[in-house]
Amino acid sequence: MTLENIILEHEKGIATLFINRPEKLNALNKATIQELHETLKLVNENPDVRVIIITGSGQKAFVAGADIAEFAHFSAEEGTQLAAKGHQILFDFIENMKTPVIAAINGFALGGGLELAMACHFRIASENAKMGLPETSLGVIPGYGGTQRLAQLVGKGRAMEMILTAGMIDAETAKIYGLVNHVVPQEDLFSAYMTVATRIMKNSPVAISRAIEAVNANFKTGVNGFDVEIKNFGACFATEDFKEGTTAFLEKRKAEFKGE
């Protein structure tokens, strides 16, 4: 697979994807979205990959929005198709991946960039990060899940204010809002997400994938999250990871999980 806009690094169970369009502040275009999908699908199916990190190249931007030049002259039908395809192959795809995905926000995360970060399972930001959904200033609304995921993460009122004012917030405000989990100096971002990823890797990959599905179920229309939790809880009992985890606990040793 030839990658023009993504740099993939894989070390000790952690796959790091760098969005690499520095001349465009890593803005998302169709090609980059497709490359992200293909790369994420590849690493998600790799049993040696236990955690995935998405970040931006350089020190200025995570992803500073979508590539507006690509859709500035779209019709209503083309705009609808653009959003639908983006949801399918990238944003919803990330949210429902069995492998945990962490967004390492290393600068501007605007528009589609913030929507990408919000699709990840959680977020760590550097102190210089700025986040916002400026779409209404362009005469459009967020189309890659921003109106839904932002409200889920920060609450309806704060989401409404951010979207309707098209303003940016800094990393500390994002942490207060619950939009990001941690804020660290930019030079410490790598070590911060590696530390969290290493902690995740100590746990059962089977249980982690089941937990992701159960948590997500609470936010899906027509799905009873408690029912999904009960089903997934029971399913864990039939796995080798459960046998290893409970045996290790009783034997007072560290579990060595292999996954299914």
Q: Active-site positions? A: 115, 135
List the structure tokens of 179: 């939009």
CB count within 10 Å of CB 107 equals 24
Cβ neighbors of 248 (< 8 A, separation 6 or more) are: 254, 255, 256
Which contacts of 81-89 are long-range, i.e. CB under 8 A and separated by 24 or more positions?
A: 82/143, 83/143, 83/144, 86/33, 86/112, 86/143, 86/144, 87/144, 87/145, 89/33, 89/34, 89/37
Taking each helix axis from N to C terminus, what angle separates 205-217 and 240-250, rounded to the nearest 10 degrees? 110
> Looking at the chain, how many residues does it have?
260
Q: Which residues contact 54 (CB under 8 A, 6 or more apart)?
A: 16, 17, 19, 36, 94, 101, 102, 103, 104, 116, 117, 120
What is the C-alpha separation between 63 and 243, in angstroms, rounded?
Answer: 42
Phi (first) and psi of residue 144, to 5 degrees: -115, 40
| CA torsion through residues 157, 163, 169, 175, sign | positive
